[in-house]
Amino acid sequence: MLTISAPVPQTSSSADALQHVRCNLCGADDPRLLLTKYGSTVARCRKCGLGYVTPRPQCPALLNLYRAERYYRHANASVYGYPDYLADTFLLEPLFERRMAEIEALRPSRGRLLDVGCATGLLLAEAGRRGWDAQGVEPSDFAVTVCRERNVRVHHGDIHSAHLSSGYFDVAVMDDTIEHLPDPRRDLEELHRILAPGGLLTMNTPNESGLLRLLMGRYWFHYKPPEHLYYFSPRTLSDLLAKAGFRVLRSRLSGKIVTFRYLCARVHTYSPLASRLFLATVARAPLATRPFFLPIGEFCIFAERP
């Protein structure tokens, strides 16, 4: 058995706050070291291939990453979170329109929808406009405040503390969420409980087996421990869904809607000098603020509760 040690992550003040975890998919305790980044270690299970962070901070320290406004608005000062989630609404709204259209292609009848990790409620607002009875759960103090200002229903916490009724929801969404969860298998089992028979679960997450990760290696920008705790491929996430009782319907590659100026500004977290150069030159072009869809090494998966 390989024992992995790592420098103390930025979210922890003491090595005592770190915890070693087993593979969340198969339960094995035989990880192979992949890389150390941002003071945390990413490993891969030798038995099933799941990528995950171990050791890692305990839950209270992990939650501190998300609670404050800085996670959603830091002007490219951090590799974690978003430069300005509120200012990027014009990029996120059309993305969530796409998400909802794809959900409705599979479940045309409007019903009850749950968004797990709903951030500032943009998908909930879009679902409400389309006739869904929508609500979310979100751990961030800042994001919950914004949700309530938007008059969307949100529980401040997670799906366990929300005490949701069994078989209540027709659709559950986890958009860029499952990779953050300390125990994704437990959360999927809870979603299985609260979805009605025939209920749809859809997720979007970085693709650890994708071409972009293979090309970038350890420099893949989705390797962001301990913000991202798990690194799934379509195979490992399908296996985890099956263990939680779901039947996988399909998966596909996905991405984000961005502008060229947005990408130039985001380079700041890796090279401030290059970012300033791009923003002062090519990002001033007339088309630099036009939104476009960009595959960035993610995938969507759709599963059903039998």
What phi and psi values does residue 33 have, to the nearest 5 degrees? -65, 130
As a whole number of angstroms, the distance between CA 37 and CA 132 comes to 41
What phi and psi values does residue 71 have, to the nearest 5 degrees? -65, -35
Note whether 33 and 176 are same-domain residues.
Answer: no
Q: Which of 26, 29, 51 is nearest to 40 (CA)?
A: 51
Note whether 125 and 31 are same-domain residues.
Answer: no
pLDDT of residue 179: 98
pLDDT of residue 16: 55
Note whether 165 and 227 are same-domain residues.
Answer: yes
Note whether 6 and 84 are same-domain residues.
Answer: no
76, 268, 289 from 285: Cα distances, Å: 21, 19, 8
Specify the number of domains making up the chain: 2
Strand, helix or coil for residue 171: strand
Note whether 77 and 137 are same-domain residues.
Answer: yes
DSSP label of 70: G
pLDDT of residue 11: 42
What phi and psi values does residue 304 have, to the nearest 5 degrees? -125, 140
Does the pTM exceed 0.75?
A: yes
pLDDT of residue 15: 46
Residue ranges making up the domain that contains 220: 65-304
pLDDT of residue 237: 98
Please, what are the averages of pLDDT over each run of 10 residues along the chain (306 residues)? Answer: 32 63 97 95 98 95 94 94 96 98 96 98 98 98 97 97 98 98 98 98 98 94 96 98 98 96 89 88 91 96 98
Note whether 202 and 234 are same-domain residues.
Answer: yes
